[in-house]
Amino acid sequence: MKNKYVSLCGVTALLLALPASAETRIVLDLPIERQVFQRNAEEWAEVKVAGTVPPEVTLVEAKAELGVGLRGKATDWTVVAQGAQIKDGKFSGRLKLATGCWYSLRVRFRKSSDDPTVLGESAVEHVGVGDIFVIAGQSNSSNHGAERQKTSTGLVAAFDGKHWQLANDPQPGASGDAGSFMPPFGDAIAGKFKEPVGIIACGIGATSVREWLPKGTTFPNPPTLEGRVRQLPGGEWESKGEAFDMFTARMKQHGPKGFRAVLWHQGESDAGQPDPKRTLIGKPYRQYLEQLIRDSRREIGWDAPWFVALVSSHGGDSVPEMRAAQKSLWDDGIALEGPDSDALKGDLRDGVHFSGKGLREHGARWAEKVAPWLEKQTGKERDGK
């Protein structure tokens, strides 16, 4: 049998002259192409390396080579799994990588530390360590802008729950098929901190905060759209919990402190509705959004930071009671200060949504809020505070 290359989901494997039975069992499952891992206070992450090997393999090694980016640290061949770490044909180990670039990750499979014979090799061409952001809310947190955006740095990737890809619009995992602020926001963070950035987009167009609440949460009046809520026999309404379950499941995939922060942009579908009974502003809005923040933190098992934007405009006047409710979460330390998107007017708007120019400005304003906090946060982490 001749050596041959096989490519699957961005992973290239060189299968050497093994028996046919062994050839089909060399699989590298993790990491996957364009995957970003959340950096820690010391600016590194443990990258999980896992897959399937034939019985002949008792040693798995990996090395990282520098790729696209402005910093990083290459590694030599490092043992990531051997002995008991390889069981029933499955292996799992970790490789420590510094923040800073897309690494080309090479993995090789050997008989043993005493036998230099390499039975197979695999490579993932883009693996990153940087900061990951979960972005949720309604249409201006998803793909409903006027013009699709692209990452200019090539350092921003998006995750839909199964696959990573370059974060070019439309963002996977969010509603809509047009433009978003996420590529320019990611580029701004990537450029400032010289790192890959991960985007987990969860936004659903036209949703009320009531639709994001856990299943069974009740409220007196429904939102304008009733698909994610239902009326109870007594006349009250309750959330079906579908958005909450999706949202928290996407966050839990990354584990405790597996992303940097949640960016919440929502409010248009609660402010100034044609039917006043379906409008939700002021203290009731604050109550439900605070519940969402606290319940989601409880569900994922750690106190993820939240940024909350000032959002109330449909393209015209803003709603002071809604803005006050959102700001009160900053004032009480429940959420961090997001951008004032109501201030984006004129040619930055395409009705309730943003123009191409507006999307780029929206991304820049998110970065203006997140970047200074991120600098302080990482400094505090390094100092052990």
Give me the residues paired with residue 108 across strands: 61, 121
As a whole number of angstroms, the distance between CA 47 and CA 271 comes to 43
Instruction: Give the pLDDT of the chain (385 residues) as one tens digit per residue.
Output: 333 333 344 444 444 444 444 444 789 999 999 999 999 999 999 999 999 999 999 999 999 999 988 799 999 999 999 988 999 999 999 999 999 999 999 999 999 889 989 999 999 999 999 999 999 999 999 999 999 999 999 999 999 999 999 999 999 999 999 999 999 999 999 999 999 999 999 999 999 999 999 999 999 999 999 999 999 999 999 999 999 999 999 999 999 999 999 999 999 999 989 999 999 999 999 999 999 999 999 999 999 999 999 999 988 899 999 999 999 999 999 999 999 999 999 999 988 999 999 999 999 999 999 999 999 987 656 555 5
As a whole number of angstroms, the distance between CA 45 and CA 228 comes to 38
Structure tokens at 142: 């998803």
Domains and CATH numbers, the chain: 4-128 (2.60.40), 129-382 (3.40.50.1110)
Torsion of CA 309, 310, 314, 317, to 10 degrees: -160
Please state, in angstroms and as integers, the Cα–Cα distance from residue 47 to each residue in 28, 56, 63, 94, following that order: 13, 25, 11, 5
As a whole number of angstroms, the distance between CA 108 and CA 110 comes to 7
What pLDDT, on a 0 to 100 scale, did the predictor assign at position 14?
45
Using CA of residue 256, residue 261, residue 265, residue 267, what is the dihedral sign?
Answer: positive
